[in-house]
Amino acid sequence: MKKIYLLFLLSITTVFSQNAKKNELLLPYRDGNLWGLCDTLGKVKVKPFTTGMVDFMTTPPNFKGKYVIKKNGKISIIDQHKRTLLAEMNLDSVKMYPFSKDIYVYKNNKIGVIRNFKMLIPVQYDEISLTSNQSYVVEKGGKQGLINSKGKQLIPVAYTTIHESWGENENSKKFHWVAENENNDGEENEVGFTDSVVLVDETPEWYGPPVIGMKIQVTEEEENRSKSIGEKYGEVVSFSINRNSATIDMYIVKMNDGYGVYSVDQDKIILKSDESIEVCGMNNGYTTFLMKKNSQMGLIDETGKVLLDYEYDTIEKEWMGICMLKKDNKKGMFVLNSIYKPVKPKYKEIKILEAIPVSESWQFGLFEVTTEAGKKGLLGENGVEYFKN
């Protein structure tokens, strides 16, 4: 059974107003126990009207919002203009994804698929996996079958494994599948199935999983340079990578009197710290470093510009260029490459949510925060709270 993770958990009652502009991004806004909609600046566009909004998503090409509402055990989906996209259904939960027309629906530990707000695959399977050719491998009771892009059961749920044919496809208008089972002697029996080819639209290049790291091949020149730096300044403990050339452009050096950052381009130590230095990431084209001074943490870029003053107990680098700030057991955050100022530590917890696509060149960071009083709400990367307790 696939797990579903909702941004937040609530309940619902009536309808939306008509204040929203045609393509305006609206976010769920909570006032006490009621939910409405607001823009990214926190301006309420739909007054709080319900107690049950459980998820939302913006999807291309128009990036309009879709809002999941739950009432009396039934789930429906509406847009910001109160139009019903999916009528009430007896479901436990749903999950939407960017750049997908599919909505995965769950009931009694079973899963199904709705496409274009119509039921494509009934909610009766243990697992469903989207494959090439816009088909779905479905699993029930340890056996697999296949449902094609039109919702037709092409392969019955009676096989151990299902995969594309390894053979060359001589007919460009046909798509070939192979279903396998083992007989009593442990030998595999294969059965072939044929379906029409479905052309799949490519996902835009800008959208994809975050870049977690970069593997590079350390050259002999870089090894010799590291040795030379170590002999002149001290032990090389880490380095930063130029993402354009995938080469080392800076080295972190442990010296007799602290730590330093050696720049390959400038051929010298450009930053020093008495306590520690750690590469953080890129910010507007410059490498940044987490540095400690008098037991307090700050964030400095390679030019010496102070992005965060030395005032935090800890600064932890998270995924997607997000720095979590902690001071006096309270949390804040700073987003690299963002136009917005740091969010000062005042929350008990901050949870990173999936960024919201706004256009083909911009995603807006969204977070779930827990206040000191234990109340949860949404927070934008701009520091605006989308809730009022």
pLDDT per residue rounded down to tens, the chain (389 residues):
333 333 322 222 222 233 445 557 789 999 998 888 999 999 999 888 887 888 888 877 677 889 999 888 899 998 888 788 999 999 999 998 877 889 999 999 999 999 989 999 999 999 999 987 889 999 999 999 999 999 999 999 999 999 888 766 666 778 889 999 877 666 668 888 888 877 555 444 433 333 334 445 678 888 899 999 999 999 999 988 887 777 889 999 999 989 999 999 999 999 999 899 999 989 999 999 999 999 999 999 999 999 999 999 999 999 888 999 999 999 999 999 999 999 999 999 999 998 887 777 778 899 999 999 999 999 999 999 999 98
Write down the pLDDT at residue 142. 94
In a domain, 85, yes or no: no
3-class secondary structure, 150? coil
> How many whole angstroms separate alpha carbon 277 and alpha carbon 274?
9
Q: Token pair of 222, please?
A: 């870089």
In a domain, 248, yes or no: yes
Residue 202 burial (CB count, 10 A): 7
Write out the H or E segment, with its range, that includes residue 221: helix 220-232
In a domain, 375, yes or no: no
In a domain, 190, yes or no: no
In a domain, 66, yes or no: no
Torsion angle of C-alpha atoms 233, 236, 239, 242, degrees rounded to 10: 50
In a domain, 19, yes or no: no
In a domain, 228, yes or no: yes
Q: Are 377 and 387 in contact (CB under 8 A)?
A: yes
Number of domains in the chain: 1
Q: Token pair of 64, please?
A: 């309009």
> How many whole angstroms separate alpha carbon 146 and alpha carbon 291?
54
> How many whole angstroms separate alpha carbon 296 and alpha carbon 259?
15
Q: Which domain holds residue 302?
A: 220-314
Write down the pLDDT at residue 205. 40
**Verdict on whether the full-model pTM lies above 0.85:** no
Write down the pLDDT at residue 15. 29
Write down the pLDDT at residue 31. 93
Write down the pLDDT at residue 78. 86
> How many whole angstroms separate alpha carbon 284 and alpha carbon 292?
22
In sequence order, the 6+-apart residues with CB closer than 8 A to the CB of 308 are 297, 298, 299, 315, 323, 325, 334, 342
Q: What angle do CA 228, 212, 240 make, to 5 degrees?
A: 20
In a domain, 261, yes or no: yes
